[in-house]
Structure 1
Amino acid sequence: MPMSNGANLSKARRSLRIPAVAGATAGLLLLTACGAGDGGTQHRPAAVASAPAASPTRDLKRIPDVGDRLQARIPADSRQVVAVYGESRNSPDATVVLYDKQGATWDEAGRWPAHNGVRGWAPDHREDDKRTPAGVFTLSDAGGVLPDPGAKLPYTRSSSFAAPRSWAKTHWHDFDYVIAIDYNRVKGAPPNDPVRPQGQKKGGGIWLHMDHGSGTSACVSVSRTAMETLLRSIDPARGPVVVMGDKQYLKG
């Protein structure tokens, strides 16, 4: 399948509808990657959905609770990290923390309760395993059903992001805002571009998106407020990456 021409569009032009070829396959991508991890038929209470944000931590020498192996995979010139701390390997509950580097130290810029795949995490993610890929990935593109809220990443607005109406109503707004995690995708393309460079079996369509109160099929979900903050904060000029996995994996 040819790559979407979204990779070559300016941010202003990408606020228009994405090419028809990507829109036609977006529904399949959403059904097999993000969204209704519980099948779109049940709404399970979030274990951490109402947890208050902790006081910001400042002047950190490194990203907390991330071991040397993954710290070394954070690019030396990266000055922005989204850390996703999964509760355990098989849990759908997580915490998302945004860190900004000022000089030689990191400051915590935001903290939110989150969800990941309903079956937890996988360092070797596979299509339909219901686990979120663990590792370090760049962040380069955003989009959604709603108008651009002031994103610094290139933002593609399109109705093709909309969750299928066959899903539970609680899931319909999952993709109002999304940020693509650069796992098995073409950087610079809209988040719902269907091209998967490593092949279909490796999965894809892994996003940060809006939460519906329970685990996802493979993505990471947070509240609308958190998504708006992330969209307005994540800056391509700062080399943003996401470091994510269960707590044990992250420390290993």
Structure 2
Amino acid sequence: MIQRRTAVALLASPLLLTGCGGGAEATERQTPARRPEPAATPTPEIQAEQAPQGIPGLGPKRSAAIPDRCEQAVVVTGRGRNSPLCTVVLHERTATGWQPGPAWPAHNALHGWSAHHMSGDLRSPVGVYTLSDAGGLLPDPGSKLPYRRSGGFHSPGTGFAGEPLEGAFDYVVAIDYNRKPGTSPLDWTRPLGLSRGGGIWLHVDHGGPTHGCVSVAKAHMKDLLRTLDPDRHPVVVMGYADWLAG
């Protein structure tokens, strides 16, 4: 009897000795180990950097000609090389790019535009020019540019369409083409010589083409005078549409 019990105990002992390890081994075989999922590759957040908004209608050459420090640009867009009709828009630079103001109907020279303006050619000079000085026949309406009032801004006579010129120079902003910045628009200093013309201004529209200037309504001239700020280094970008797109 004692021998039989001993035999049973000996037969059972391997199971007891291998119960934990063997049970665990059997479980692994029945339930295959789950493969670890690959770690998610972090996706860098790419923030699309929007290019600052440019000035519509200006090509790379004209845009590059605007000084980096300039924050105000009066863009004069002619309808055609030989057209006296144009549109004026004041653009102001912000953190997101150039922001346009309203579009104003305007006139330029009778025969349109020239890349080599000459005195008496009745064409407005294309180009990018600084705006430094203002003046007029009437009292200063609140100009931020230096304003010089003078009776010399009197404009008698008639225009090409027979319209009276009276009041055309009530308000003037000198365009720094062939002139000395920092002087009255009436100053006749001509660095390029008299043959290259001068006295190219932004002034009050008289209802017809000009000799070389750009003219807008009186209310718009007041807006320009009150807005153009020498600390923001204003310029005028002027020419017919195809030239501006270059």
TM-score range for the pair, normalised by the shorter chain length: 0.7 to 0.9
Flag the structure with larger Rg.
2
Matched, 1:183 2:182: no
* Partner of residue 152, structure 2: 160
Identity %: 51
Matched, 1:228 2:222: yes
8 Å CA contact retained: 1:60, 1:107: no
| Structure 1 vs Structure 2 CA RMSD | 1.4
Matched, 1:79 2:74: no
* Partner of residue 250, structure 1: 244
Q: Unaligned regions of 5+ residues in structure 2, if any?
A: 1-50
CA drift of 1:109 comes to 2.3
TM norm structure 1: 0.75
CA drift of 1:60 comes to 6.4
Secondary structure, counterpart of 1:171 in structure 2: coil
TM norm structure 2: 0.76
* Partner of residue 135, structure 1: 127
* Partner of residue 99, structure 1: 91
Q: Could you tell me which of 202, 226, 231 is aligned with 2:196?
A: 202
Give deviations 1:56-88, integer Å, cap 9, x for gaps.
Answer: xxx961111011111111001110000000000
Secondary structure, counterpart of 1:70 in structure 2: helix
Give deviations 1:116-154, integer Å, cap 9, x for gaps.
Answer: 000000011000000000010000000000000000000
- The structure whose RCO (Cα within 8 Å, separation 6+) is larger is 1
* Partner of residue 18, structure 1: none
* Partner of residue 211, structure 2: 217
Give deviations 1:174-233, integer Å, cap 9, x for gaps.
Answer: 100000000000000000101101100111000000011111000000000110000000
Alignment of 1:40-119 (within 5 A): 61-119=53-111
Provide the C-alpha distance between the structure 1 equivalents of 2:126 and 2:155, rounded to a whole number of angstroms. Answer: 24
Give aligned pairs, total. Answer: 194
Provide the C-alpha distance between the structure 2 equivalents of 1:166 and 1:226, rounded to a whole number of angstroms. Answer: 22
